[in-house]
A and B are shown apart, each in its own frame.
Chain A
Amino acid sequence: MGSWEKSFLQFLDSPVRLGLAVLSAILLLFFIIRLGSIYFFLRLIFLNLTRNLVRTGLTAVASFMLVFVVTLVWTILWFLNLVTSEKSKDFKAIVSERWQIPSQMPFAYQGALSEGAPAMEGDFKVDSSRDAMTWQFYGATIDPTKRTRESILFFFCMEPLKFTKMMDGMDEFTPKQVEQINHWCEEMVKDKRKVILGKDRLQAINKRVGERLKLTSFNYKDIDLEIEIIGEFPESRYNQSGIMNRDYLNDAVDAYNRKKPLKHPLTAKSLNLVWLRLPETPIFQQVEKQISESPSFTAPAVKIETAASGVATFLDAYRDLLWGLRWILAPFILATMALIIAVAISISVRERRKEIAVMKVIGFLPRQILFLVLGEAILVGALSGTASSLGTYFLINDYFGGIKFPIAFFPVFLIPGDALWWGTAIGVGTGLAGSLFPSLGACRIRVSEVFSRIS
C-alpha cells in the first residue's frame, strides 16, 4: 500500500473525518446534479472576490501566514500527543531510576531488567534478544577547547543490532535505507569504534562519512574516545542523533577503572534507560509487579512506565510552554484569522448593500445571500489554507528537514501528512466563523430601506 493510500485510510479512521468525507461526497453529488446553477454561484462568489484584488490578496496572504504558524505549532503538539497516547498492544515500556532525573542506574541492572526481572516460575520473561534495548548517553566535543553547537556530539550507546528492531521512526526510512542501516550496524559490531551520525549533526560539525574523530566527553569525564563515522542517517528524526556501540563505552570505562586507583564516578551510573517491548497491558502490569517487587533493584530503586507515560513525565518540564502553545498561541492565531476575514467580508458587504438588495428584489432568499457571502469567506480561507499547508509541508519537510524544536528526545518535528487537511479545515473554519456576522447582516438587509435611501 502506497504512503498516500495509507494516509488516506488513516484520514478516514475517525468518525468526524469520515462524516466530513460523506458530507463532501453528498455535496459533490448535489453540485453535479445542479451543475449549471452551482457553477454560476461559484463563479459569482469568485467574481465577488475579484472586485478588490488588493483586499482579497492581503486577506489571503494573512491567512496563509497564520495557517503556516498554526501548522508548525500543531505539528509539535500533534506529535507529542501521539507519543504520549497510550497504546494497548505492542507498546514499549521504559525502565528508569525511580527518584532521579536524569536516570542513572548501574549497568549491572541491564541483564535482569532486559528480561523483565522474572524471579519465579510463571513470571513473564521478555525476550531480551528481540524485545529489549538499553540506552547509555555519551556527550562529547570534537574540540576540547570549547563546547559549541558546531563541536558537540550526542550518542545513544546501545546494541547496534537493536537499532532497527527497537527504535521508533523506522517507518520514516525506505526498506532499502533500513537495509543500509542494518549493514552499518553489523559493521559497528565488528568494529566498536564505528558510529552513525545524523545528517544535520554531520553538517553542523563539518565532517563527512569516513572521517575519524577524537572525542572529549563532557559527561564521562576522562573517557575520551576515537570514532570513525561509518554512515549518515537518511532524512529523519535522527538528523541530530548519533549511535554508538555500547560495548565501546563500557570497555572504555572498564579500562579507566583498571588504570586508575579510583573507579570512574559513572561506573555504577552508566545505564540510563532500559526499553522493553510488551505485547499487551496485562503483561505490562505483570512486568511492573516483577520489577517493583524485585529485591535486586533497590539501590537505586527503579520504576517502569509505558513509553507514553515516560515521555509525558519528561515533558512535564515543558508543561507551561506546551499549554501556552495549545491554549493561547494557536487559538489566538485562529481568532486573528477569523477577525481578518470578518473585517474584509464586512467591508465587502457594506460596499455591496445595493447589489444585495437588488438580488433580494429579484427573488434571492436570505439563506441564498447568506451562502453567497459565506462562500466568499470560505473560498478565500480554504484556498489560502490549503496552499499554506501544502507549502508548509513541502517547505519544512523537504527544504528545511523539519521543525528544529529540540524538546524531550525529539530534536526535529516533521510536518505530518494530516497537516495537508489542517490548512483547508482551518481556512474553512475561520472563514465560516469570520463571515458569520457579516453574512447574517447581508441577508437581513431590508430592500425598501436601501432603495428609499437611494431615492
Chain B
Amino acid sequence: MNPDSIVRVKNLTKFFTRGSEKIEVLEHLTLEVNRGEFLALMGPSGSGKTTLLNLIAGLDSPSDGVIEVGDKTISGMSETELAAWRTRHVGFIFQFYHLLHVLTAYENVELPLLLLPLTAKERKKQVLTALDLVGLSDRLHHRPGQLSGGQQQRVGIARAVVSDPDLVVADEPTGDLDSKSAEEILELLVVLKKTLNKTIIMVTHDPRAAARAERILHLEKGKLVHDIPAASYSYEPEPLGGLHG
C-alpha cells in the first residue's frame, strides 16, 4: 500500500439490476489516488466513470470490494454515516453548478458549514476566505441568476472547499461552460491543488481539461484500460468521419 495514498479502491464491483437483468458497471477495479494528486477520469459514456466518482465520494455503495478514503473504510458505512463523513471530507463540484437559486452566493457557500459545529463568526470567516479564493469577494450577495456560468461554477468551487475537505470531486466541471470560462475553472482547480494541496478527482470528456490533471485514468466498459501521467497524454481531435463510424 502506498503510504501517500488518500483513496484506495480494491477489487471494486458495482452492478445494477433491471428486472432479471444484471448490468455490471464496474468490474473488479483497483486503484489508488495520492494525497494532493489531480486525477482525471476519462472514458466514453457508460464506461462507469461517474459511478466510480460517486462511489469514491460516498454517494453510492459498492456491490463488492473495498473503498478507503483517508483512514476510513467508507464502503461499509450507512447512509447517515456517509452523509456525516461527506460533510467533513468531500467537496463536490457539479457540471451544472447546482446552486440553490433562492440563496445568495454567500449563503450557498455557507450551506455545508451549517452542518458543522461552528459559530457564526467562524462560518463567516471561512465563507469569505473561500469566496476570496475563487475571486468572488465582490459578488457575495448576488443570487445565482445574477451571475454568469463561470461565476456560478466558481461559487460551486467555493462551496466545495469551504469546509476544507481532503478530497474534491468534480463531475464534468467545465461541461457547461464556454472555453474561456472553462479555462479559468481549470486554472482554479490547479491553484486549489497547488496552494491547498487538495486531492482532486475530475470526471471529464474534454481532453483539454484532462491535460490539466497530473494523471489520467481511462475507463471502458467498467474496466480500467489506461493509467497514464497527463504529461504523456497527447490530445488529438478525432476526425469528423470517426463520429459516423
Contacts and interface: CB of A to CB of B under 8 A. Distances in A.
Interface of A: 35-37, 40-41, 43-44, 47-48, 50-51, 354-355, 358-366, 368, 447-448, 451-452, 454-455
A366 B59 CA distance: 13
B195 interface: no
Interface stretch (B98-106, B128-136, B237-245): B98-106
A47 B103 contact: yes
Contacts of B112: 362-363
18 contacts: A36-B120, A44-B102, A51-B101, A361-B86, A362-B87, A362-B92, A362-B111, A362-B159, A363-B84, A363-B87, A363-B112, A447-B59, A451-B54, A451-B94, A451-B171, A452-B50, A455-B171, A455-B172
Interface in B110-139: 110-112, 114-115, 119-120, 123
B98 A355 contact: yes
B187 interface: no
A363 B114 CA distance: 10
A279 B54 CA distance: 77
A41 B114 contact: yes
Contacts of B119: 36
Interface in B78-92: 79-80, 83-84, 86-88, 92
A365 B60 CA distance: 15
Most A-side CB within 10 Å, residue of B84, B103, B172: B103
Contact of A44 (B94, B96, B103): B103
A1 B47 CA distance: 77
A354 B92 CA distance: 14
Given A361-B57, A363-B115, A448-B59, 12 more contacts: A36-B120, A40-B107, A51-B102, A355-B100, A362-B86, A362-B112, A363-B88, A363-B112, A364-B115, A447-B54, A448-B54, A451-B50
Most B-side CB within 10 Å, residue of A35, A47, A451: A451
B193 to A, nearest CB: 21
Contacts of B94: 358, 451
Contacts of B103: 44, 47
Interface in B156-212: 159, 171-172
Given A36-B120, A40-B110, A355-B100, A364 B83 contact: yes
A434 to B, nearest CB: 22
A47 B111 CA distance: 14
B99 to A, nearest CB: 8
Most B-side CB within 10 Å, residue of A36, A359, A452: A36
Given A365-B80, A451-B171, A354 B54 contact: no
A370 to B, nearest CB: 13
Contact of B114 (A37, A51, A454): A37
A190 B232 CA distance: 118
B80 A454 contact: no
B30 interface: no
B86 A363 contact: yes
B5 interface: no
B161 to A, nearest CB: 12
B34 interface: no
B171 A366 contact: no
Contacts of A454: 95-96
A252 to B, nearest CB: 76
A240 B63 CA distance: 78
Nearest to A40: B114
B18 to A, nearest CB: 13
Contacts of A447: 54, 59-60
Interface string B10-43: 0000000000000000000000000000000000
A360 B98 contact: no
B98 A365 contact: no
Contacts of B86: 361-363
Given A40-B110, A452-B50, A361 B102 contact: no
A362 B114 CA distance: 10
A361 B84 contact: no
Contact of B98 (A43, A354, A363, A368): A354
B123 A365 contact: no
Most B-side CB within 10 Å, residue of A359, A361, A365: A361
A360 B50 contact: no
Contacts of B57: 361
Contact of A362 (B60, B95, B115): B115
Contact of A48 (B84, B102, B114): B102
A41 B114 CA distance: 9
Nearest to A359: B111
A358 B98 contact: yes
A36 B100 CA distance: 19
Most B-side CB within 10 Å, residue of A355, A366, A455: A455
Contacts of A41: 114
Contact of B123 (A36, A354, A362, A451): A36
A183 to B, nearest CB: 64
A182 B160 CA distance: 78
Contacts of B107: 40, 43
A361 B92 contact: yes
A279 to B, nearest CB: 62
B97 to A, nearest CB: 9
Nearest to B59: A447
Nearest to B80: A365
Q: Which 10 A-B pairs have the closest CB atoms?
A: A363-B87, A36-B120, A47-B102, A358-B98, A448-B60, A363-B86, A362-B112, A37-B114, A447-B59, A363-B115
